[in-house]
Amino acid sequence: MIHRTLGAHIERWPVRGAFTISRGAKREVEVVVARFDENGAVGRGEATAIYYHGESAASVLETIVSHRTDLEAGLDRMALQEMLPRGAARNALDCALWDLEAKRSGVPVWRLAGLPAPRPLETAFTISLGAPERMEADARAVATLPLLKLKLAGEGDIARVAAVRRGAPGARLIVDANEAWTGRDVAAEATALLPFGVELIEQPVKAGEDHLLDGVNSPIPLCADESCQDRADLDRCIDRYAAINIKLDKAGGLTEALALAAEARAAGLELMVGCMLATSLGIAPAALVAQGARWVDLDGALLLAEDRPQAMMAEKGILSAAGPALWG
């Protein structure tokens, strides 16, 4: 007989310094942890609220506990996809159910999902938005890392990218406009970044205004982030973007993220796998989706002042695979 209990709570983790994008700065992140205890096995999942969807840690927690009866009665992952919409609450629960199945069966999640064994990943490291001189100094401090991701804001972006290139002349660069190029000439902005070796531009225009990219011939590939949450958004991305950024909190868990990755590849889109600010517990499931992605941006835990025990380690920009004591 199955005896399952659900626990869920909010945790607060300090950010190292501050994490700044065009929408503001954060000095701590609130994550929601869901936990299933079933016949001696424990499964955990972590999620970060998607603030630009109006989610908060409190609302995510409320959603999780409001479904306690069904979840404790043995609801499985497939039924979960029908019960909850995409978003952070479903992500925490979906990942906890994957972890529970792995712990209960003794079979790792990658094998349960029919994936190859995970390998270490080269991940981007984010340079927060700031004045060019500040971003140059931040880039210089991590100049030996292989891949840097710059947060941009529209006005003054060329100076920011030039400054980071001075600070880290050998690093590969990708940039995230965070919708700040709405109303700007995207092709011209991208052309101006060519001398600095930028290889990808994330979310140049506001989500929902992707038609502004119709006919835009960008010399640097464009990547949908806020414009692509799950498979329902793929059609509007095709022919406008060259790539999509998959995040488990947006997609609503590992189950949907894997399905989204498969359909995106079939549609000819390149893959980037990213994350919100999170501990290694939130990063571990995303690392499975990131196997084989062209760009990996899983530095959410690296930007925190501290991390969990059994954390995923990073050395010279290479992120280790998660151990089963952490997740999966």
- Catalytic residues, by residue number, are 151, 247
Contact 158, 135 (CB under 8 A): no
Question: What are the Cα distances from residue 236, in Å, to 213, 229, 240, 265, 294?
Answer: 11, 11, 7, 15, 21
Question: What are the Cα distances from residue 299, in Å, to 188, 259, 326?
Answer: 30, 23, 17
Contact 99, 281 (CB under 8 A): no
**Residue 106 burial by CB count (10 A; 0-12/13-18/19+): exposed, middle or buried?**
exposed
| CA separation for the pair 224, 240 (Å, rounded) | 9
Q: Are strands 318-319 and 121-122 parallel, antiparallel or unpaired?
A: antiparallel
Contact 99, 90 (CB under 8 A): no
- Give Cα 139 to chain centroid, integer Å: 21
| CA separation for the pair 195, 165 (Å, rounded) | 10
